[in-house]
Amino acid sequence: GNVDYKDLMAATDAALKLPFVDPTRTGVCGGSYGGFMTNWIVGHTDRFKAAITERSLSNLFSFYGTSDIGFEDYREFGGAAFDRPEAYAKMSAITYVKNVKTPLLILHSENDLRCPMEQAEQFYSMLKALKKDVEFVRFPEECHDLSRTGRPDRRLARLEFIVRWWETKL
């Protein structure tokens, strides 16, 4: 959400200079860390016409206590979430939820232990409360690797949701 955000915006600027890129139809999407970055991006710029976040995290404080790896974040933040809540909040996409203007599709698997379902639920609930353009699709019985190892019908459904979102929003 800092240097990585700047790098992604610089890459976007470079892509927009290409003759075959339509600057009025750009979208952003990502999964896992890319999902975190998508959540971060939509809270910090409205330059994209639509966004898709998958298997993402939005609240680093709760992620610390619910993920199978969140407790390792102390290395990034110089301490545990309970000791440095301000640092975790500053780098949590959910902190900037009021700034979101980009339509967002959230795709998440119910059995994701890396990025627990509550991460998507929190972001979605706040966006809905703010009357933002957001949709949320939950995949039952799937884990963090839905796109790679999920049940074939659910992998196809995921792709159909993605295509429909881009067709509708871009």
Alpha helix positions (H), the chain: 3-16, 33-42, 60-66, 74-77, 85-90, 117-129, 146-149, 152-169
Q: How far lies 58's CA from each of 14, 38, 127, in Å?
A: 27, 10, 12
Choosing from 32, 58, 92, 109, which is the catalytic residue? Answer: 32
What's the CA gap between 56 and 106, in Å, rounded? 9
Is position 144 annotated as part of the catalytic site?
yes
SS3 label, residue 52: strand
Q: How far lies 28's CA from each of 42, 54, 102, 138, in Å?
A: 9, 11, 10, 20
Is position 92 annotated as part of the catalytic site?
no
Choosing from 58, 62, 108, 144, which is the catalytic residue? Answer: 144
Beta sheet of 134-139, edge-to-edge order? 27-31, 50-54, 104-109, 134-139
Residue recorded with tokens 């993605």:
162
Residues annotated as part of the active site: 32, 144
